[in-house]
Chain A
């Protein structure tokens, strides 16, 4: 067996059954080995599509997603999808072909230093220098990708190594298949201090991040909410960790968060941060974020604790243990809880349409009501992404596939492709925009090739909506390069790829469209023409305090008198 064969065997031993990729010169030995393998290879139409599809598959399953591409341009095209996985702690193994060892460092055809190029965006990277090491490297890569804080791991394979004899490692590779290591529990003395801090607090608030699901601590955090009756806010990545329609949910915090969530954070005297990282889109101006609060920070990654906001209590390690130990009844916070729920009631997000045009938030809300509760929404990036976060109900965070940390346009359609392979038979809706879909439009071919029942909802405002909104609000309406009014006819584009499509451009067509999206045959593209002047509300000006959020009248609303201090 050669190195390529050993790679394929090791992937099989890791339980991999699907790989997203695109072949090329330097990775030909691997593609040759695939012919004799039971691995299912999904051929995309651009390497970025492979990285995002594997990324979406990994988000949906919680397992390590695998993609592969050739050296040079193949690898550069993967980069955005790798960076996205790194930003959102998605476990992935990325395999790249490399020019033969003797040509590395000579500016050979399609040669690039992929190990060096990906350093800022991987958890770790390997160049396999000997075919006999292949199996061990693969198993180590999987172990690293899935343990602790998950993330992407690169394996770069020179062509001569892939072609060299690897010895017979079949038996040992099965034996070596990496077993996940369990995290250690947080320091018990720190847990005790956390319990005391919660008991002492008058206005405690739970701040839920995307790491809770990665820690497999969803049952623990739900139990904590029921026991403590703590009101909670979620980051974009945390939505659905506790169902978004839970009575104690105040919604998403931050730049496009609900007023209830942001007011509660600002007024809190204790933030119980569960696996979030105080990202700037969540905190707004950091110095003014939760100015009265002590912080208990739970995270598997010690480097996240006290990185941006100093934690008064650091609970580093297994979030399940921390959440179990902190789950004690908090009967003394009734007035605060009532105040939070009053804010929630008072500042409910208003999805009501303004005129006869299609109002995207209304459509998304109807779609959420009509879709089965286990439907998956894969989003692109922009206004539509924020409307999904604000208006779609999520009962699980892995039903919401969204590019959080990196904010990568082009994510939605290939991520939905990954989700279709992860959840065959389940409803997958890709919500995209007219800017975003054009960034990976070629993957419509992948949808057709594999007959994937993706429902694409394309919200078209003929502009880069979120950029346009910022220019309107923060750059004195000096619009610069946001006009996309020369978009193609998306219905005809979809049909040319072989995907049935229809257009919705009036509010009275929404009900029928939602019905067709949910119940009709798929794949399907629904082209939704919306008013280009519609903005996402509320919004916090970048760099400003969350308390200064603007509403549709461009005014900063004031919180109702607290009275709970």
Chain B
């Protein structure tokens, strides 16, 4: 799964994100982080491996105070499929 996250810059921001990903059972395979020119935000692209629900991870990342936006770049089909399961 490839995750794109936009983070408001604050002390510990990247560590909070990566720490959460590890604690929630995911493994970082590749990581790219870039601060925007004005220094206010950072964009993170992370390729992750794991067998847990990407949808749940996205919600857990969203919960971080610094995170402005998160979406799944690859593996959306899996997320959409999970979201549709058994909704009545």
Interface residues of A (CB under 8 A from B): 115-116, 119-120, 123-127, 129, 144, 193, 196-197, 294, 301-303, 305-307, 310, 312-313
Contact segment of B26-34, B40-48, B80-88: B80-88
The closest CB in chain A to the CB of B23 belongs to A120
Q: Could you tell me the distance between the alpha carbons of A302 and B60 in the complex, rounded to whole angstroms? A: 8
17 A-B residue pairs with Cβ-Cβ distance under 8 Å, sorted by A, are A116-B12, A116-B15, A120-B19, A124-B65, A126-B11, A127-B11, A127-B12, A129-B11, A196-B88, A303-B59, A303-B60, A303-B62, A305-B59, A306-B55, A312-B86, A312-B88, A313-B87
Contact flags B4-20 to A (C-beta < 8 A → 1, else 0): 00000011100110010
CB–CB B56/A306 < 8 A:
yes
Residue from A119, A127, A310 within 8 A of B19 (CB atoms)? A119
A-B pairs with CB below 8 Å: how many?
46
Cβ of B63 within 8 Å of any chain A Cβ, yes or no, is yes
Interface residues of B (CB under 8 A from A): 10-12, 15-16, 19, 23, 53, 55-56, 59-60, 62-65, 85-88
Q: Could you tell me the distance between the alpha carbons of A313 and B19 in the complex, rounded to whole angstroms? A: 30
CB distance from B80 to the nearest CB of A (A): 14
**Given the contacts A124-B65, A306-B56, A115 and B86 also touching, CB distance less than 8 Å:** no
Q: Could you tell me the distance between the alpha carbons of A125 and B15 in the complex, rounded to whole angstroms? A: 12
**10 A-B pairs with the lowest CB-CB distances in the bound complex, closest first:** A303-B59, A124-B65, A303-B60, A312-B88, A302-B59, A303-B63, A127-B11, A115-B12, A307-B56, A119-B19
Q: Which residues of A contact B86 (CB under 8 A)?
A: 310, 312
CB–CB B88/A313 < 8 A:
yes
Q: Which residues of B contact A124 (CB under 8 A)?
A: 64-65
Q: Could you tell me the distance between the alpha carbons of A127 and B13 in the complex, rounded to whole angstroms? A: 12
Q: Could you tell me the distance between the alpha carbons of A106 and B59 in the complex, rounded to whole angstroms? A: 36
The closest CB in chain A to the CB of B55 belongs to A306
Q: Which residues of B contact A197 (CB under 8 A)?
A: 88
Residue from A120, A123, A301, A306 within 8 A of B65 (CB atoms)? A123
CB–CB A119/B87 < 8 A:
no
Q: Could you tell me the distance between the alpha carbons of A310 and B55 in the complex, rounded to whole angstroms? A: 11
CB distance from B72 to the nearest CB of A (A): 15
Residue from A119, A126, A294 within 8 A of B88 (CB atoms)? A294
Residue from B10, B15, B16, B62 within 8 A of A302 (CB atoms)? B62
CB distance from B23 to the nearest CB of A (A): 6
CB distance from B52 to the nearest CB of A (A): 10
Q: Which residues of B contact A313 (CB under 8 A)?
A: 87-88
Q: Could you tell me the distance between the alpha carbons of A120 and B65 in the complex, rounded to whole angstroms? A: 13
Q: Which residues of A contact B85 (CB under 8 A)?
A: 310
CB–CB B12/A301 < 8 A:
no
CB–CB B11/A115 < 8 A:
yes
CB distance from A191 to the nearest CB of B (A): 13
CB distance from B6 to the nearest CB of A (A): 17
Q: Which residues of A contact B62 (CB under 8 A)?
A: 302-303
